[in-house]
């Protein structure tokens, strides 16, 4: 079912009285903003809500949720009504899939699912349609959660997805009480101490190849010690955003023979093709893969593959 299937949302919410709300592993601002916003919407309809997540909620985003988020464990009972937000496919929710034992409502801005607006900038953007359809009032806490997803999924209104429509929605949300300055500071500007340490280590490794058209940074296990995934967020932008660089790469050592690679393209270069050569994938401008080799060899192999297409 595609755009316009708001009847699915009605049918689901009419029969449910108690709803579990989930989102994807390694959640971003849109995932948590959408969970929190869906919580407000479902509660406004007089239903009970439980937030569940497999990997937990990054500290940066936890203030958006107004109720605790239960960490999934295998003993948890299956649930008849699960709402899944911001997930391109159900397997993105990880082990929480085992809780889905009945109706699952997927609301997303990626392809497929019950209610999807594929061109929407964020899942919270899609939720604007849902709340209007359900005639749920746009309260200040709800507006803040929706704004959080819109802000983070458009890279602070910098991506191509930041269309006039997005700014119109942002206007409506700010009018409803979303604090644009406070949310931008907490969600985009503020850094953890660990992030700054990781950044410092990454900068020490900054290297160039292919006439400075490729730049990369590498974080070995020692550099990553004590850093959460959230602390590494944004590091890949450091090599990528240098003027003249076409492809930026981040190498993260997971084990002696396992290196996670993130590739980002600035110019018209398809980094998904490069990631696919190593069994990975992604999008034209942002892709990733895991290389089962030493750090040194992984860097050598991936940089050679990038240089081959420049």
H/E/C letters for each residue in 118-187? CCCCCHHHHHHHHHHHHCCCCCHHHHHHHHHHHHHHCCCCCCCCCCHHHHHHHHHHHHCCCCHHHHHHHH
**Which of 72, 282, 302, 303 is the binder for ligand 5GP (CB under 6 A)?**
282
Q: Which of 57, 92, 153, 218 binds Mn ion (CB under 5 A)?
A: 153
Name the minimum Å distance from CB 184 to Mn ion. Answer: 18
Contact partner, 86, from ligand 5GP, Mn ion, none, Cβ < 5-8 Å per class: Mn ion
Indicate the residue among 26 and 200 with the shorter CB distance to ligand 5GP. 26
**How far is CA 258 from each of CA 81, 251, 299, rounded to the nearest angstrom?**
38, 10, 12
> How many whole angstroms separate alpha carbon 195 and alpha carbon 233?
8
Q: Map residue 195 onto helix, strand or coil.
A: helix
* Candidate residues 20, 21, 29, 30; the one interacting with Mn ion per rule CB under 5 A: 30
290 binds, among ligand 5GP, Mn ion, none (CB under 5 to 8 A by kind): ligand 5GP
Residue count, binding to ligand 5GP (CB under 6 A): 10
- How far is the CA of 105 from the CAs of 49, 164, 165, in angstroms? 14, 29, 25
Residue with Cβ nearer ligand 5GP (39 or 248): 248
The reply to whether 108 sits near Mn ion by the rule CB under 5 A is no
Beta-strand pair 69-71/48-53: parallel
230 binds Mn ion (CB under 5 A): no
Identify which of residues 69 and 265 has a Cβ nearer to ligand 5GP in the complex.
265
Mark 114-144 as b/e (b = at least 16 C-beta within 10 Å).
bbbbeebbbbbbbbbbbbeeeebebeebbbb
User: What x-and-dash track marks residues 224-263 binding ligand 5GP by CB under 6 A?
Assistant: --------------------------------------x-
Contact footprint for Mn ion (CB under 5 A): 30, 86, 123, 153
Contact footprint for ligand 5GP (CB under 6 A): 262, 280-283, 286-290
């Amino acid at each position: 079912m595609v755009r316009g299937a708001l009847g699915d949302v009605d049918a689901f919410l009419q029969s449910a009285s108690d709803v579990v709300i989930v989102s994807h592993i390694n959640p971003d601002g849109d995932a948590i903003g959408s969970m929190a916003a869906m919580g407000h919407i479902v509660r406004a309809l007089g239903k009970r809500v439980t937030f569940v997540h497999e990997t937990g909620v990054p500290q940066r985003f936890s203030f958006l949720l107004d109720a605790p988020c239960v960490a999934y464990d295998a003993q948890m009972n299956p649930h008849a009504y699960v709402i899944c937000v911001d997930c391109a496919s159900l397997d993105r929710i990880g082990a929480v899939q085992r809780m889905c034992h009945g109706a699952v409502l997927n609301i997303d801005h990626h392809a497929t699912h019950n209610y999807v607006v594929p061109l929407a900038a964020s899942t919270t953007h899609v939720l604007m349609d849902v709340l209007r359809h359900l005639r749920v009032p746009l309260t200040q806490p709800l507006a803040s959660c929706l704004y959080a997803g819109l802000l983070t999924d458009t890279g602070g209104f910098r991506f191509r997805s930041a269309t006039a429509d997005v700014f119109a929605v942002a206007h409506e949300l700010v009018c409803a009480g979303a604090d644009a300055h406070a949310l931008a500071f907490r969600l985009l500007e503020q850094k953890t101490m660990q992030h700054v340490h990781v950044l410092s280590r990454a900068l020490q490794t900054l290297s160039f190849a292919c006439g400075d058209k490729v730049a990369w940074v590498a974080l070995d296990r020692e550099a990553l010690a004590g850093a959460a995934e959230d602390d590494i967020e944004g590091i890949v932008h450091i090599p990528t955003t240098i003027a003249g660089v076409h492809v930026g790469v981040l190498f993260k050592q997971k084990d002696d023979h396992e290196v996670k690679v993130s590739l980002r393209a600035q110019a018209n270069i398809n980094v998904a093709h490069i990631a696919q050569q190593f069994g990975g994938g992604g999008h034209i401008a942002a892709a990733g893969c895991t290389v089962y080799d030493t750090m040194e060899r992984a860097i050598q192999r991936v940089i050679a593959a990038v240089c081959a297409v420049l």
